[in-house]
Amino acid sequence: MRNIVITPLAPIRISVEAEILSPDIFAPLSMEQICGLDVWQGNRKKKISDLFRVVGDEGPAKPEETALRLEGDFSRVKRIAEGMTAGTVDVTGSVGMHAGNNMLGGKLSILGNADDWLGREMRGGSIIVEGNAGNYAGAGYRGERCGMRGGEIEIRGNAGAYLGEHLCGGNIRVAGDAGDFPGAANQGGTIFIGGSCHLPGAEMTKGTIIVNGKAKVLPGYQKLEIVTIGGEKYQKYAGDLVENGKGELFIQAGSS
């Protein structure tokens, strides 16, 4: 395994676009080449070594044998692990927007919080966030018809609004609460919310949403029978009938 550790030289105040912080980009390069990679900070182009201390094993290696460790606060660093196909990225702090977007494989774990658009349009691999995630986790970007299509996102804290909007596949699991409109316009995939949320599955045509806490259900949903999943009783709904949808919504029985 080739281990590389990246640490900010100083606290980052102006946002950095760091789609290069990915095993796929680092794996084939030598340490010197890695230090020479370009990143944009605001409207200025900089070298990665201007902003970060990068140390680790000399390459090259295959992406699946590359492990990146991001130590410190990366909450102003965007697009970490964008489009990664293999390997691992571990972040000890928080990450900025668009972490793990378009991911195809590998594993991204975040000990702190994730900002908006976590794992948007991802197709494979897995993301684990120990803290909270922002809005639009696993969603599709503006105007896109399909958000996440595959892979797993696990959020151990809470998630923001529009969780898994336009979801087309894959699994999202939130241990805590989700905000407004989780699973809006879904066309597939599964969302599990451990806590409560507001108005899940608006315009959902296909897919499954399970809410373990309380949720206000939209009038476009048809109330069906009580079912048991994993020993728990849930009220089942079908919808969203506004879109002639065939989605399934399960809300903890007795909670709503």
Partner 1 sequence: MIIRGGIVYDPANGIFGEEMDLCIDGGRIVEDAKGEVIDARGLLVMPGGVDAHSHIAGKKMNTGRIMRPDDSRLGTEPRSGVCRPSTGYTVPNCYAMGYRYARMGYTTAFEAATPIIEARHTHEELEEIPILDKGALTLFGNNWEVMECVHDKDIAKLAAYVAWGLRAARGYGIKIVNPGGGEAWGFGSNVKGLYDPVPNFDVTPAEIIHALAEANEMLRLPHSIHLHFNNLGKPGNYTTALETLEALKDIKPSRMRQAVHVTHMQFSAYGGTSWRDFESKAPVIADYINRHNHATMDMGQLLFGAATTMTADAPLEYGNARLTHNKWSNHDIELEESSGVVPMVYSRKMLVNAVQWAIGLELALLTEDPWKVLMTTDSPNGSPFVNYPEVIALLMSKPKRDSEMATLHAELSKRTSLGGIERELDWSEIAIMTRAAPARILGLEDKGHLGFGADGDVSIYNLLPEEVDASKEHATVKKALATAKYTIKSGIVVCKDGKIIATPRGKTYWVDAAAAQADMDRLMVDLQEKFERYYSVQMSNYAVQDVYVTNPKVIKAGIGAEPLKEVA
Q: Which stretch binds partner 1 (CB under 8 A): 106-114, 123-131, 141-149, 234-242?
A: 141-149
Nearest Cα residue to 34 out of 91, 23, 44, 42 = 23
- Interface residue with partner 1 among 14, 145, 219, 231 (CB under 8 A) is 145
* Nearer to partner 1 among residue 13 and residue 142 (C-beta): 142
Between CA 80 and CA 55 the distance in angstroms is 18
* Nearer to partner 1 among residue 35 and residue 141 (C-beta): 141
What DSSP string runs through 2-33?
A: EEEEEEESS---S-EE-TT-SHHHHTTS-HHH
- Interface residue with partner 1 among 144, 233, 254, 255 (CB under 8 A) is 144
**Count of positions on this chain that bind partner 1 (CB under 8 A):** 6
* Nearer to partner 1 among residue 63 and residue 138 (C-beta): 138
SS3 of 213, please? coil
* Nearer to partner 1 among residue 228 and residue 244 (C-beta): 244
Q: Counting contacts by CB under 8 A, is residue 142 touching partner 1?
A: yes
**Residues in 121-140 at the binding interface with partner 1, rule: CB under 8 A:** 140
Q: Counting contacts by CB under 8 A, is residue 242 touching partner 1?
A: no
* Nearer to partner 1 among residue 143 and residue 230 (C-beta): 143
Between CA 67 and CA 18 the distance in angstroms is 16
Q: Counting contacts by CB under 8 A, is residue 38 touching partner 1?
A: no
- Interface residue with partner 1 among 11, 13, 44, 143 (CB under 8 A) is 143
Q: Counting contacts by CB under 8 A, is residue 141 touching partner 1?
A: yes
**Cis preceding linkage at 90, omega within 30:** no
Contacts of 103 (CB under 8 A, 6+ apart): 81, 82, 83, 84, 119, 122, 123, 124, 125, 127, 151
| Binding residues for partner 1 (CB under 8 A) | 140-145
